[in-house]
Amino acid sequence: MIMNKCIVIALTCLAFASALEAQVPTDFDGDGRSDLTKITIEDDKSLTWTAKLSSTGESEELGSLGSSGDHAIMGQWQGSATQIGTVLSNTADNTLTWTIIDSSGTRIERTLGKSGDLAIAGGDFNGDGATDAVVVRLTAGKAVWEISYDLFSNAASTPETVTFGRTGDRVFFARIDQEVTDWIGVMRKGSGNRSIARMKNLVTGEVRQFTRMPKFASTGVRPRAIPIRQESGADLLGFQVSKGKNTTLKVFSLAGSLISSTNFEGSGEVVVGDFIEGNGYELAFQGAKESGIFNPISAEVREDEFLGGVAVDQINLNTVGTTPTPTPPDDGSGDNGDNSGGSISQCSQIVAWPGGHIYKTIGSSHFSDIRRNTIGVILKEGARGPFPSCVKAIDTEGNVLASLGLYVRGAGWEARYYAGVGCGISTPLNGDAVADKARRNTGSATIYMNFGGVCFGPITANQCVNSTSC
């Protein structure tokens, strides 16, 4: 397909082909394949970045950058290799600090945006090969975008401001043709069982509309569209959908056609890259029960080992810090109560759910108080601590969904925690309600239980774990 088009527009195709080859995301060993990358939260709450090199299968530490609460912003910020990076909110002046480590190991900081903005990393909106930084906020019901082209290669860059979108839209970005520029986009409700994707080229100002996107992209949980690079030039859009005990990955063309889908057991995280040979980029699913790499064109799924830690890639859209209402468009948070932390990185340690920990979506049938209808975490005798007075149920982006207060220690158990009790008196929620809140935030019912910095999980909010009575 690309060869036929190159007969007519050779220069455009050559530019696209060279960009595709030269800018493979998260390729740290230079073999032309993306390397699966993770963040590990250390005991001192610092973040260690590690890549599983595709050339050797071995893990290589990329460096230490950031701390708990920071958001990942990996990218080709200086136009070639991928740099690790973070963005965080400064409470002193409510600004956002963007930080990377360049190829020489130098730490570079820039300021863009303010607390509560949706920070976007991973897109190249002027087509020069370098990742651009973007923040989005709602102002008088309109989505206002600030774009800083070449943030880390041009210190004097002045952000461009564009108004595009409105309250209720779901922000994303993607490429829609053979040009090497990403387009900003918003997903909104359409007619009937359709969603509409409106997209704008920031270089030319052109706006296009795609009216046959799936309904679930703009209603209910609203999983965010994930751009998946293709050799044809137009990205496919992937969606991570929780379905019962499985995670379903669905991939659509911009024309609204379902290209392929696949299921993975359990819940987890999805990252994008050119992980295996074949057409275009793939989606890599990293879950506690099953992990694999999915090529949407061939529909091939290759098994892969669980990385541990938090899987990350170059496509990152996260609300950073707190903000007064109205909230930024498309953060998907809904009514999520205490939103402190704002990142799974608030966990000083992530530990797989222990066999001695029981999670229940509702309390035991003999309860006659509030515990009967709320989630609970019960630790068997000898179960691993710590044992704080309050446990936070958080989604995969760190939003607090519910609090569980310590009910009692002893009496045949190491500790028992319930929503609706103690610190959780304002969040008397059952598993279905917690799952709904998690899906509104992230598109997934996956949650962790934060025991004062030690986070156990992942588990699925509406499924009991290690329980014989539910």
Full residue range of the structural domain in which residue 179 is found: 24-319
Closest by Cα among 198, 216, 222 to 208: 198
Same structural domain, 378 and 250: no
Residue 74, burial from CB neighbour count under 10 angstroms (0-12, 13-18, 19+): buried
Beta bridge partners of 243: 246
Taking only the tens place, the pLDDT of each residue in 377-402 is: 999 988 888 888 899 999 988 889 99
Rounded CA separation 470/452 (Å): 27
Q: Find the helix or strand (DSSP H, E) in which 446 lies.
A: strand 446-451
Query: In terms of domains, do 313 and 357 share one?
Result: no
Cα–Cα dist 107/100, whole Å: 6
CB within 8 Å of 204: residues ≥ 6 apart? none
Question: Does the residue 17 lie in any domain?
Answer: no
Q: What is the pLDDT of residues 110-135, one digit of tens each?
A: 999 998 899 999 999 999 999 999 99
The share of the chain scoring above pLDDT 70, in percent, equals 88
**pLDDT at 461 > cutoff 70:** yes
Are the C-beta atoms of residues 342 and 320 closer than 8 Å to each other? yes
> Measured between alpha carbons, how far is 82 from 130 in angstroms, rounded to an integer?
10
Nearest-angstrom CA–CA distance, 437 and 454: 22
pTM of the complete model: 0.69
- Evaluate whether residue 270 is within a structural domain: yes
**Do residues 453 and 344 touch, judged by C-beta distance below 8 A?**
no
* Residue 15 placed within a domain: no
Q: What is the distance, to the nearest Å, from the Cα of residue 49 to the centroid of all Cα atoms in its chain?
A: 16
Asked if residue 310 is part of any domain, the answer here is yes
Query: Which of 201-215, 319-333, 446-460 tops mean pLDDT?
Result: 201-215
Q: What is the pLDDT of residues 271-296, one digit of tens each?
A: 999 999 888 999 999 887 889 999 99
The answer on 165 and 283 residing in a single domain is yes
* Boundary of a domain, candidates 286, 302, 319: 319
Q: Which residue has the higher pLDDT, 423 or 346?
A: 423
In this predicted structure, what is the pLDDT of residue 397?
82
| Residue 346 pLDDT grade (very low, low, confident, very high; cuts 50, 70, 90) | low
Give the DSSP per-residue string, 344-406: GGG-SEEEPPPTTEEEESS--TT--SGGGGS-EEEEETT------SEEEEEETT--EEEEEEE
Q: How many domains does the chain have?
A: 2
Find residue 238's DSSP bridge partners. 226, 251
Q: What is the pLDDT of residues 43-89, one digit of tens each?
A: 788 899 999 999 999 999 999 999 877 889 999 999 889 999 999 98
**345 pLDDT tier (thresholds 50, 70, 90):** low
Instruction: State residue 344's pLDDT score.
Output: 58
